Amino acid sequence: MAPLLLAAAAEAASCAPMRLNDLGHLLQVMGTFLGLSLFSLGGGNTLLAEYHHLSVVQYCWLRPAQFADIYALAEAAPGPSSMIVGLLGMGAGWPEGPGWALLSAYGAEIAILLPSTLLMVVACLSWNRLRESPWRVAFERGLGPITLGILFAVGVKILQTADTNAPGVVVSLLVCVLMLRTRISPLWFMAVAGGLGAFGLINR
Amino acid sequence: MTESPAPAPTDAPPGLGQLFTGMLMVALSAFGGGLSAWSQRIIVEQRRWMSNEEFLTGLTVARLFPGPNQINMAVYVGTFFRGLPGALAALAGMLLVPFTLLMAIGLLYFQFHSLPALDRVLAGVVAAAAGMALSMGFKILDEYWKDPMALLLAAVTFVLMTFFHVRLVPLVLVAGPLAMAWYWPRRSQPGSPAGEPR
């Protein structure tokens, strides 16, 4: 794990933001998420590693710790956690002030949802024909295992980005097991771990 | 008037305003989780807009197509009654409150994240969230456990992304069609669901 963590740190240090004007920046954000929308397989969490690459490594919207924070906030907040895209957009627009940040947040969320929504509408209207199609069967069965592999890669990427001390990694692994073995609300895990952080037991 | 004839147990099909408020109720009820269970309770049991089978079909379509499952489900419900305008109304109802709240949280975060006290708490929360992220793959691992080809595909995908830093879009564009070809339903075994891979 250690060399991987170092690699993550090196990425961040070398990130230099591109200079664009306000509007150019907004269009860059929206174009980025428009292009990714149709790749959100398996409910959208498969995009998290790509979000990390774009916002931390490629465009320097966020520092690695901020990305980890935002992921945690989106998970803790009520509603679909895929709304993290709104927070990424907000991070991208923040240097231009809160007004642009909000505009960028709404733009990002609309951009990520628009193509998949349009496709979903078409799918609903033609479902009776699609249902028996071999394309549907092959898509469902073929993309499933790929989604599985991507989700594991995403888990490891978020763990690297969290970059906490040893007690923090132990808490991460413990939470992972509890998520699988119990039905306790994850909000409790985040509350308890937040307390451990406040007392300095977990740090980064 | 609508795309689908109203099935026996349902009342009059909802209009755009009703779709908006219905999904708003789902989103408000589901604060703290269980969104899919709440949408079933409200749409099928309370408002009786759809039969249970129609709802479950929606879950299948929502999971199959790209996009967040819960959001796709709202699109399905809206489209079912009012086409694209219905989908947008349902989506707006579903997202209005949670997204506004998230924007408030985000503005507070970007304003105050450098405060040491907040950063310390977040360091802990982030550790828990990383554990949640790690559990996502394990949650669906059981479905593939008896299919060696699926495990191989998943393992190759994982290694390419984690160790060779292959990006998502090229990965899906290359691996997706290969996997679809492997799992293409075969006619040789009539009666077996979707043809077992060799």
Task: Calculate the dihedral angle through the C-alpha atoms of A155, A159, A162, A163, rounding to the nearest 10 degrees.
Answer: -160
CB contact under 8 A, B123 and A203: yes
Residue in B32, B133, B183 nearest the CB of A141: B183
Question: Of B132, B138, B171, B174, which to mutate for an interface test with A (greatest number of A Cβ within 10 Å)?
Answer: B132
Q: Tell me if B159 sits within 8 A of A173, measured CB to CB.
A: no
Summarize pLDDT for B15-60 with one digit per residue, the tens. 999 999 999 999 888 776 677 888 889 999 998 999 999 999 998 8
Distances (CA, A) of B149 to B153, B179, B198: 6, 9, 10
Summarize pLDDT for A25-54 with one digit per residue, the tens. 899 999 999 999 999 988 888 999 999 999
- Asked if A74 reaches chain B (Cβ–Cβ under 8 Å), the answer is yes
Q: What is the DSSP string of A114-154?
A: HHHHHHHHHHHHTHHHHTT-HHHHHHHHHHHHHHHHHHHHH
Summarize pLDDT for A130-171 with one digit per residue, the tens. 888 999 889 989 999 999 999 999 999 999 999 999 999 999
- Asked if A97 reaches chain B (Cβ–Cβ under 8 Å), the answer is no
| Chain B CB contacts of A123 below 8 Å | 61, 64-65
| Chain B CB contacts of A192 below 8 Å | 128
Q: How far does CA A129 lie from the centroid of its chain? A: 33
- Asked if A55 reaches chain B (Cβ–Cβ under 8 Å), the answer is no
pTM for this entry: 0.87
- Asked if A3 reaches chain B (Cβ–Cβ under 8 Å), the answer is no
Count of CB atoms within 10 A of residue B52's CB? 12
| Chain B CB contacts of A66 below 8 Å | 113
Q: What was the ipTM of the complex prediction?
A: 0.88
Distance from CA of A15 to the nearest CA of B (A): 17
CB contact under 8 A, B91 and A113: yes
Residue in B61, B101, B161 nearest the CB of A153: B161
Mean pLDDT of B170-193: 81
| The one-letter amino acid at A55 | S
| Chain B CB contacts of A188 below 8 Å | none
Confidence grade of residue B196 (pLDDT, cut at 50, 70, 90)? very low
Mean pLDDT of B113-130: 94
Q: What is the DSSP string of B93-142?
A: HHHHHHHHHHHHHHHHHHHHTTSHHHHHHHHHHHHHHHHHHHHHHHHHHG
pLDDT score, position B119: 94
Confidence grade of residue A20 (pLDDT, cut at 50, 70, 90)? confident
| Chain A CB contacts of B145 below 8 Å | none
Distance from CA of B13 to the nearest CA of A (A): 16
Residues A101, B48: Cα–Cα separation, whole Å: 41
Which residue pairs from B84-91 have beta carbons closer than 8 angstroms and sit at least 24 positions apart in sequence? B84/A118, B84/A121, B85/B16, B86/B16, B86/B19, B87/A117, B87/A120, B87/A121, B88/A117, B89/B16, B89/B17, B89/B19, B89/B20, B89/B23, B90/B19, B90/B20, B90/B22, B90/B23, B91/A113, B91/A117, B91/B23
Residues A106, B100: Cα–Cα separation, whole Å: 10
CB contact under 8 A, B91 and A117: yes
pLDDT score, position A14: 59
Residues B21, B32: Cα–Cα separation, whole Å: 19
Q: Which chain B residue shows the shortest CA-CA distance from A190?
A: B125
Distance from CA of A35 to the nearest CA of B (A): 9
